[in-house]
């Protein structure tokens, strides 16, 4: 189909970009591995315009890929190369529709950028807690559609737990509103949970009512050296117990990750004298004024309490060394070390990335077995949101090893009752993997849901379900 063939109903529904140079950024994904083609990029301003676009595409047999910040790491945010497509970008739908500071909820349009929403909430003493490296570009609709996680899932849950209700346009052009953001609403199937994590295959999220949290008044952040992963989990549980479950971050930083970042960003230093084999970045946060008040030595009481737990764990030989941040600058430096891992990896070349999760008790076993299944000469890196059992594994095999290596990694993950996609989703990158490895009964039910809601298959075909 030529640009001149764009159906009138589509052209009338919303503003369209059709020039190749204007469309280019919307057609290539963040990883650079997926490039699609489209008749146009549609930029609707309202739910009504999204609805008109969907109806026009349905009647003309045009496929739709919804797009937020286009930061997907699974290749689901750009069109395929087959058939007529449009990209439906939510970028112009970014308004806060309603803020309820008493109920601590906000209703916001799907195109709101995560970080911008957080900044809009700060003057009210509130925050939308979801956070990760792409927060400056990722949008609320994209975060919900991938059920994004990040570094503080341990405390606040992933995107699903932070969403109370949704407004969406379904593939037949109908608009649904799953509720008014109530915390209790048992009136039948909860379609919110079907659309969250659906990666644009079941409809277009146009707005959401989200849970907000008070901004912590004080944080205690430490970089630890621990003997091994079993000790790390004992440390996590001890700190959780002593702080009433206030751990926000518990990140695994083995020596090779710390060394990698220090090589690429010489200004970033390991906070400990010796780079730990098994390093942990831990952060505890509290909204309590008492925790924020200064104790006898002038430090916030939360820090005093955390320091006492760390000392006890040191005596029990569960911690070998620890550095507790004494200032915001020291805290930022510790977090920066963790946040620069992905960028440092990318600077080293093209890696095969794995986003897996495991039962906490199996994380150490996975890493041990992994060494046995890696062919010699394969470079490997692993970091992780350890508190969630979520590991980000990067391997650089030779071309001949690439496919067989993935099979081995996924065999191992499934043997240990883990998941082959923890937080980045399936997209186009893992659609074949899902078809091959998902439990057949669940896969059949997923296909039945897709067929019921999108019988014409216009919503992001090729992503998630093949």
Ligand X SMILES: Cc1cc2nc3c(=O)[nH]c(=O)nc-3n(C[C@H](O)[C@H](O)[C@H](O)COP(=O)(O)OP(=O)(O)OC[C@H]3O[C@@H](n4cnc5c(N)ncnc54)[C@H](O)[C@@H]3O)c2cc1C
The residues of the shown chain that bind ligand X, judged by CB under 6 A, are 30, 65-73, 76-77, 90, 110, 132-134, 138-139, 141-143, 145-146, 148-150, 199-200, 204-205, 342, 423-424, 427, 460, 463
Q: Which residues pair with 367 in a beta bridge?
A: none
Using DSSP, state whether 107 is helix, strand or coil. strand
Nearer to ligand X, 71 or 303 (CB): 71
* Cα 364 to Cα 226: distance, rounded to the nearest angstrom: 13
Least spacing, CB of residue 401 vs ligand X, in Å: 26
Least spacing, CB of residue 362 vs ligand X, in Å: 21
Judge contact between 262 and 270, C-beta under 8 A: yes
Q: Of 313, 317, 316, which Cα lies nearest the Cα of 282?
A: 313
Least spacing, CB of residue 204 vs ligand X, in Å: 4
* Cα 418 to Cα 278: distance, rounded to the nearest angstrom: 22
Least spacing, CB of residue 208 vs ligand X, in Å: 9
Nearer to ligand X, 26 or 410 (CB): 26
Nearer to ligand X, 137 or 287 (CB): 137
Give the helix/strand (H/E) hosting 106.
strand 105-109
Q: Of 231, 186, 187, 181, which Cα lies nearest the Cα of 209?
A: 181
Using DSSP, state whether 41 is helix, strand or coil. strand
Nearer to ligand X, 300 or 384 (CB): 384
Nearer to ligand X, 310 or 463 (CB): 463
Least spacing, CB of residue 62 vs ligand X, in Å: 15
* Cα 267 to Cα 340: distance, rounded to the nearest angstrom: 12
Nearer to ligand X, 277 or 339 (CB): 339
Least spacing, CB of residue 136 vs ligand X, in Å: 9
Nearer to ligand X, 16 or 205 (CB): 205
Structure tokens given for 337: 């070390």
Least spacing, CB of residue 407 vs ligand X, in Å: 24
* Cα 312 to Cα 104: distance, rounded to the nearest angstrom: 37
3-state secondary structure 105-149: EEEEECCCEHHHHHHHHHHHCEECCCECCCCCCCEHHHHHHCCCC
Nearer to ligand X, 10 or 140 (CB): 140
* Cα 145 to Cα 147: distance, rounded to the nearest angstrom: 6
> Torsion angle, CA of 28/32/36/39, rounded to 10 degrees?
20
Q: Of 374, 238, 406, which Cα lies nearest the Cα of 316?
A: 238
Least spacing, CB of residue 83 vs ligand X, in Å: 16
Least spacing, CB of residue 403 vs ligand X, in Å: 24
Q: Rg (Cα) of the chain, in Å, rounded? A: 23
* Cα 126 to Cα 136: distance, rounded to the nearest angstrom: 18
Least spacing, CB of residue 74 vs ligand X, in Å: 7
Judge contact between 341 and 133, C-beta under 8 A: no
Nearer to ligand X, 199 or 242 (CB): 199
Nearer to ligand X, 68 or 84 (CB): 68
DSSP state of 162: G
Nearer to ligand X, 78 or 319 (CB): 78
Least spacing, CB of residue 238 vs ligand X, in Å: 25
* Cα 28 to Cα 70: distance, rounded to the nearest angstrom: 8
Q: Of 49, 70, 86, 73, which Cα lies nearest the Cα of 175?
A: 49
| Residue sitting closest to ligand X (CB) | 142
Give the helix/strand (H/E) hosting 336.
helix 328-339
Sign of CA dihedral 139, 143, 149, 155: positive
- CA distances to 364, 394, 412, 430, 456 from 370, rounded to whole Å, are 10, 12, 8, 21, 43
Q: Residue 169: phi, psi to the nearest 5?
A: -105, 120
Least spacing, CB of residue 48 vs ligand X, in Å: 15
Nearer to ligand X, 69 or 216 (CB): 69
């Amino acid at each position: 189909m030529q640009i001149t063939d764009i159906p009138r109903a589509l052209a009338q529904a919303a503003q369209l970009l059709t020039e190749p140079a204007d469309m280019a950024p919307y057609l290539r994904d963040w990883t650079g591995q997926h490039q699609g083609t489209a008749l146009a990029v549609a930029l609707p301003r309202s739910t009504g315009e999204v609805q008109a676009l969907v109806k026009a595409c349905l009647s003309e047999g045009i496929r739709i890929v919804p797009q937020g910040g286009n930061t997907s790491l699974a290749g689901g945010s750009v069109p395929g190369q087959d058939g007529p497509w449009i990209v439906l970008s939510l970028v112009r739908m970014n308004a806060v529709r309603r803020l309820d500071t008493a109920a601590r909820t906000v209703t916001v349009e799907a195109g709101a950028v995560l970080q911008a929403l957080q900044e809009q909430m700060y003057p009210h003493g509130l925050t939308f807690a979801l956070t990760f490296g792409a927060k400056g570009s990722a949008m609320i609709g994209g975060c919900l559609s991938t059920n994004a996680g990040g570094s503080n899932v341990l405390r606040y849950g992933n995107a699903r737990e932070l969403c109370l209700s949704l407004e969406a346009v379904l593939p037949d052009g109908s608009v649904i509103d799953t509720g008014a953001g109530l915390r209790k609403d048992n009136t039948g199937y909860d379609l919110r949970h079907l659309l969250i994590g659906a990666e644009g295959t079941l409809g277009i999220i146009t707005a959401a009512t989200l849970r907000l949290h008070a901004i912590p008044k004080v944080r205690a952040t430490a970089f630890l050296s621990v003997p091994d992963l079993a000790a790390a989990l004992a440390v996590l549980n001890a700190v959780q117990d002593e702080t009433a479950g206030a751990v926000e971050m518990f990140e695994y930083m083995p020596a090779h990750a710390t060394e990698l970042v220090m090589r690429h960003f010489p200004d970033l230093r390991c906070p400990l004298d010796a780079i730990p084999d098994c390093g942990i970045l831990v952060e505890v946060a509290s909204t309590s004024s008492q925790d924020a008040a200064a104790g006898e030595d002038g430090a916030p009481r939360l820090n005093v309490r955390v320091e006492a737990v760390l000392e006890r764990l040191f005596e029990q030989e569960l911690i070998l060394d620890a550095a507790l941040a004494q200032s915001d600058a020291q805290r930022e430096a510790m977090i920066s070390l963790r946040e620069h891992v992905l960028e440092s990896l990318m600077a080293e070349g093209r890696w095969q990335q794995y986003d897996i999760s495991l039962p906490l008790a199996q994380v150490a076993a996975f890493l041990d077995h992994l060494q046995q299944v890696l062919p010699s000469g394969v470079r490997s890196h692993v970091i992780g949101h350890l508190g969630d059992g979520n590991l980000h594994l990067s391997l650089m095999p030779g071309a001949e090893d690439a496919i067989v290596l993935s099979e081995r990694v996924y065999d191992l993950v499934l043997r240990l009752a883990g998941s082959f996609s923890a937080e980045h989703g399936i997209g186009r990158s893992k659609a074949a993997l899902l078809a091959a490895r998902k439990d057949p009964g669940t896969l059949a039910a997923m296909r039945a849901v897709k067929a019921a809601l999108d019988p014409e298959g216009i919503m992001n075909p090729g992503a998630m379900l093949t």
